[in-house]
Amino acid sequence: MKLLRTKPLAECATPQDALSELCAGYDGCADLTFNLEEIAPEQMPQPARQLLVHQSHMTRTLNQFYGVPVDVHVLERHRDGNLYSRKIFLTLQETSHVVEYGLVRMDLRPMPKKVVESIVAEHAPLGSILIAHNVLRRIQPKWYLRFGVGNPLLNWYGCQTAGPLYGRLGTIYCNGEPTIEVLEIVTSIHVPTDIKRIDPNSNGNGNGQT
C-alpha cells in the first residue's frame, strides 16, 4: 500500500488532522477515530511532562529517565519513493517493558545514503542513527495530547492501560529542513527493579529518538 500524504504535519490545523495524515495507509486506519484531548504542557502530570515537554531526543530522554537503552520494534512500515513511514513501539533493552508507542514519517532525500540504509534496516532507533552520523537535528513539538483509557488509537497499538497516556506531535528538522514527523506516546511506567542500569550520561544506543 502506498503512503498517503496530502500535506505536512506543520500545515495541519488540528492534532486530529495531523493524526489522520500520519495514520493514512496503515492497516486498520480507516476505522480509527481520534478521540483525544489537546492539553497545555503545564496540564501534563509527571513523569509524562518530564518525558515529553522538551526539545530533546525522545529516546535520549527515555534513556536518561530509565537508565537503560531502548530497542525499537516495527509493527508496520511503508515506503513510497523517498517517503518512508513506520508504526513502532520502544521497549527497555532486552525486556518486554514498553515505554513508548509511535508513528514516524520521513522524507529520506536530505539523508546521506548510509543514513538511509541504516534507517530502513530498522535495527536501531532513528535518533541514535542520526547522532551517530552527525546529522544536525532540531525538534519542534506542536501539540501535547491526552489519550483516555480505551482510546481507539491506543487499542490500535494493542495497548492495555489502567489510566490515560500522554503524547506529543511534532516535526524534526534535519540540517535545517523539516524532514521527520512524529507521534510519540509515553507509557510512563515505573522503573522495573530487575533492569540492569547504565550510566545515563553515556552515549549508548539509547541516545536517539523514535
Q: Is residue 7 part of a domain?
A: no
Q: Is residue 97 part of a domain?
A: yes
Task: List, in order, residues 6 or more apart from 46 with CB less than 8 Å away.
Answer: none
**pLDDT tens-digit series, residues 170-195:** 999 887 788 899 999 999 988 766 66
Over residues 101-124, mean pLDDT = 92
Closest CA to 55 of 127, 116, 140, 160: 140
Q: Is residue 6 part of a domain?
A: no
Q: Is residue 210 part of a domain?
A: no
Q: Is residue 131 part of a domain?
A: yes
Q: Is residue 162 part of a domain?
A: yes
Q: Is residue 91 part of a domain?
A: yes
Residue 82 is given by DSSP the state T
Mean pLDDT of the chain: 86
Model confidence at 202: pLDDT above 60: no
Q: Which residue has the cell 495541519?
A: 12
What is the rounded CA–CA span in Å between residue 152 and residue 166? Answer: 14
Q: 181 pairs with which residues across the strands?
A: 105, 171
Q: Is residue 3 part of a domain?
A: no
* CATH classification of the domain holding 46: 3.40.1410.10
**pLDDT tens-digit series, residues 3-61:** 656 788 989 999 999 999 999 989 999 889 998 999 999 999 999 999 999 988 787 89
**pLDDT tens-digit series, residues 154-171:** 999 999 887 899 999 999
Number of domains in the chain: 1
- Burial bucket for residue 2 (CB in 10 Å: 0-12, 13-18, 19+): exposed
The pTM assigned to this predicted structure is 0.89
Domain with 31, as residue range(s), is 18-186
